Chain A
């Protein structure tokens, strides 16, 4: 009996070990430079609301792009923020404007729905060894305590969350979720699972090609119709909606996780001799009347950020209200059109050039 128990035990151990070796082998292959470069080059385009690329795939692809860029040994200026950055910063136009530091490579590190509380957990990806400056472009919703539910699995940090909300010994379910998240964050095959599946699907459909444009919207996308560009305030959506809550908290409270995270990030960069430039991401004036942002005090948010910037030695660039009042610069409330992107990238590039040239 004892020997048969041992045989069964050996079988179980062998099967588990083999599974572990296989998982490690797949993980190592995925993290190897050639594979990562190929995945980054062939990342899927974003086709909003078509159902072809879901938001999880979109978030994971942006994160994998950051992972790929973090391995590049280059001196760079990183542009960090939400989808306003994803669609608002053209690396080429910024580079043209960087006359004082022509060898610096501007990098668009925008992440859809990014909040400032994510700056610290994502620090290792946002700030590489060669990063000279970080340009953080915030939105009116960036400084709340809420989390972007679509991004928790791909971008969240279980350790960070644990620091904010410790787990009691009887909270088995939370502890299990913590363990699962920790594992998923460490293993790319789990963290980028939806993205990897999308590659397999595209390969099976013979529909895989290098990404043509890093932006979410086609270059010829027009501004929204006049009916959506009204300056008349519309009824707000429920404050249960996470975006609305994020706007409200950023506007009404100055002690949120978001504001303290920005201060810490700023101090951290200062200690490491990385220049931080903070500016409001361009948000269309017509967007201030939409159901998510209606009634939000953008001036109060700007004033708080200016104060934080002064306190920690970051350079603050004010909001360009003339640019924001021109509807042709936008395809919707927070995303720039091709024309707007070109104008804005050149302008922010010139400003960064001026700051770095001092």
Chain B
């Protein structure tokens, strides 16, 4: 069930109506039921797995709490292994078998492809972070099953994040107040902005991006560059649009979800980019992988190893494919290089580069990385890179006339709007919503967004991050 489906609108309306009618103590149960209905719309089997994992992790956390008091980490290891095994069996079994068979040159292992339960990558990470936090005594085990079930299944974040931490979410089950006027207004603003990003920008760019990536050999470098930049905008608007809607709905329900995007394309270094892009994942990787692996506490070699392993797994998290793994390694390499250069001559030179140029260089590096993310195979990615550098078989301007001027104008308008809201945000510390305090301007802006969604919505596409 997608946020832009009528079924979801129906479910949300009924949920809000029921929440208004019941007592404060019953509200979490209503939200759990609504979340389970939301998830069951995808598959009853998926719901069964979610419920089973909820019960398992809830029970394990209690054991871990008791065990860690005695210095026993057995239950934690069992918990992490079971969670990781669940994710691996659904997401990576086929990929591993295929890789083994191609290395061994045989069909030794059967390739089983199971339908990936929606949001499994997100809720498994949430479960792991919870039991680890309990083990580390950062938080006590959740007392009520109801609260834990809501933390895992809360429908605004269930299928595509943000990856929520129990320590942030669970206390809200007691304090959440739906229909708070100011939170609701911010929530509605976020929902409107999110839908605009998704329906108007991402969905209109998708057909062009799909067409070029599907048949990249027929296009010259110019079109490939435009397609890659269009994909950078598409994936940002798709994913951050989803997050805005999720955060907006959570606000209506009285909850606060963590910020997941903070104008990442205005980053001045690649490390800065990863502090601003998919923040809930990058902070998860930092806290539960990179730091336990040693982080930057040892020498440069340990730093490089920690970063590489972290980014290898970060890439793998996105999908069972070598393109995602290489995409992770690509970013890992950039982060390592940036880390090594700190304090060196190159590092001090970088500090003297004007900020807009820094942003442009970081943006283009990220765009080059998106090629790996979007391409079907590594060979395709190499060919696209070659084409972008003018080394392809087609002239650089091949099929340039096929690029709709409206697409270019749309991309420029999107970039301009992004820049304006970035400036407003810097002045007003107003993250991710309309960014204006004047009531009149805000009303006009929301009206413009509604009209834009109504008139300019592209062909409906599934959210990109649903596949992860």
Report yes or no: A11 in contact with B447, Cβ–Cβ below 8 A. no
Report the minimum CB–CB distance from A88 to chain B (whole Å): 31
Report yes or no: A23 in contact with B451, Cβ–Cβ below 8 A. yes
Tell me the nearest residue of chain B to A179, going by C-beta.
B6
| Total count of chain A residues near the partner, CB < 8 A | 30
A-B contact count (CB 8 A): 70
Q: Which residues of B contact A26 (CB under 8 A)?
A: 451, 455
Q: Which residues of B contact A197 (CB under 8 A)?
A: 406
Tell me the nearest residue of chain A to B183, going by C-beta.
A8
Report the minimum CB–CB distance from B307 to chain A (whole Å): 44
Interface pairs A-B: 4 shortest CB-CB = A176-B6, A18-B447, A19-B450, A204-B405
Report yes or no: A201 in contact with B184, Cβ–Cβ below 8 A. no
Report yes or no: A11 in contact with B185, Cβ–Cβ below 8 A. yes
User: What is the bound-complex CA distance between A4 and B179, given in angstroms?
Assistant: 11
Q: Which residues of B contact A8 (CB under 8 A)?
A: 181-182, 184-185
Per-residue B-contact encoding for A2-36, CB less than 8 Å = 1, 0 else: 00110110011011101100110010000000000
User: What is the bound-complex CA distance between A52 and B399, given in angstroms?
Assistant: 12
Q: Give the residue of A23, A172, A200 whose beta carbon is less than 8 angstroms from that of B6.
A: A172
Q: Which residues of B contact A22 (CB under 8 A)?
A: 447-448, 451
**Additional A-B contact list (5), CB under 8 Å, known A26-B451, A175-B6:** A1-B181, A15-B446, A19-B448, A179-B6, A200-B406
User: What is the bound-complex CA distance between A346 and B402, given in angstroms?
Assistant: 40
Could you say which interface size class chain B belongs to? Answer: 20 to 34
- Is A49 positioned at the interface, with any CB of B under 8 Å from its CB? no
Q: Give the residue of B409, B446, B448 whose beta carbon is less than 8 angstroms from that of A204.
A: B409
Within 8 A of B (CB), among A231-287: none
A residues near B (Cβ < 8 Å) are: 1, 4-5, 7-8, 11-12, 14-16, 18-19, 22-23, 26, 51-52, 172-173, 175-176, 179, 189-190, 193, 197, 200-201, 204-205
Q: Which residues of A contact B405 (CB under 8 A)?
A: 201, 204-205
Q: Give the residue of A4, A173, A175 whose beta carbon is less than 8 angstroms from that of B181.
A: A4
- Is B25 positioned at the interface, with any CB of A under 8 Å from its CB? no
Give the dominant DSSP class at A's interface: helix
Tell me the nearest residue of chain A to B207, going by C-beta.
A54
Report yes or no: B406 in contact with A19, Cβ–Cβ below 8 A. no
Tell me the nearest residue of chain B to A4, going by C-beta.
B181
Known: A5-B181, A18-B447, A176-B6. A11 touches B439 (CB 8 A): yes
Report yes or no: B451 in contact with A172, Cβ–Cβ below 8 A. no
Known: A8-B181, A12-B188, A22-B447. A173 touches B455 (CB 8 A): no
- Is B443 positioned at the interface, with any CB of A under 8 Å from its CB? yes
Q: Which residues of A contact B10 (CB under 8 A)?
A: 172
Per-residue A-contact encoding for B5-36, CB less than 8 Å = 1, 0 else: 11100100000000000000000000000000
Q: Which residues of A contact B7 (CB under 8 A)?
A: 172-173, 176
Report yes or no: B185 in contact with A201, Cβ–Cβ below 8 A. no
Q: Which residues of A contact B451 (CB under 8 A)?
A: 19, 22-23, 26
Tell me the nearest residue of chain B to A1, going by C-beta.
B181
User: What is the bound-complex CA distance between A52 and B455, given in angstroms?
Assistant: 22
